[in-house]
Every structure is written in structure tokens, then in C-alpha cells.
């Protein structure tokens, strides 16, 4: 199973083996990773599942939709490597992915 590492803002690491098909947001929420809210349940509408993708993975996690692009302007502390984790699906190709969580979602 693909192994995804979430690093909280305070440095705490969560290393999870996630089933392909779920989103990074779902993986986090299902495994008590604090720092991702995901209130809209993955509808790309609340901007509270914000993560920073490790630089070497930015071009490997899939393209952003126009909707996601627009909402990424609305997260707190947006960076060039910001993504909405509900829009990134876990696949075998993402085995080893590292994402960092922002200081706050809202």
C-alpha cells in the first residue's frame, strides 16, 4: 500500500499506509491526523484541507482543476506548493509522498 507521510506544523509525523482511491484528506481524517479539517467532505468548497506538497512531489501529484486553483487563493498562508488534499487521490505512484500541514486551516 502506498505510504504517505503527513508532518504537522509542530513537527509531529504521521506515516500512514493508505489504500489507493481515497483522497489525502480522507486518509488524514480517518487516521486522526490533526491539522486538516475537510469540512465539506471533499467537495472542493471549504478550503480547510490545505497541505504543502514536498517540492520533489509537486509535479507528481496531479494537476489542479480550475476550482482548486481559485480556492487555493483563499487558504491561510498560501505557498507555491499549496494543494487542497481532498483533490489528491492516493495511488501506488504516490508511495513515499510527504506533505506538510500549515500552521492553521482557518
Q: Which residues bind another protein (CB under 8 A)?
A: 29, 32, 34, 37-41, 43, 45-48, 67, 70-71, 73-76, 78, 104-106
Minimum distance from residue 54 beta carbon to another protein (Å): 22
Q: Name the residue nearer to another protein (CB basis): 53 or 105.
A: 105
The C-alpha angle with vertex 87 and arms to 67 and 30, in degrees rounded to 5, equals 140
* Shortest spacing between CB 53 and another protein, in angstroms: 19
Cβ atoms of residues 9 and 76 within 8 Å: no
Which of 8/95 has CB closer to another protein? 8
Instruction: Please state, as a whole number, how many other Cβ atoms lie within 10 Å of the Cβ of residue 12.
Output: 12
Amino acid at each position: 500500500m502506498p505510504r504517505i507521510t503527513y508532518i504537522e506544523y509542530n513537527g509531529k509525523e504521521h506515516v500512514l499506509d493508505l489504500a489507493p482511491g481515497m483522497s489525502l484528506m480522507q486518509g488524514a481524517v480517518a487516521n486522526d491526523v490533526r491539522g486538516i479539517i475537510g469540512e465539506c467532505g471533499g467537495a472542493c468548497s471549504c478550503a480547510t484541507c490545505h497541505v504543502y506538497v514536498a517540492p520533489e512531489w509537486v509535479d507528481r501529484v496531479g494537476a489542479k482543476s480550475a476550482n482548486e486553483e481559485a480556492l487555493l487563493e483563499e487558504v491561510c498562508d498560501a505557498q507555491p506548493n499549496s494543494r487542497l488534499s481532498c483533490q489528491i487521490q492516493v495511488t501506488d505512484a504516490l508511495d513515499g509522498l510527504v506533505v506538510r500541514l500549515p500552521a492553521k486551516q482557518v
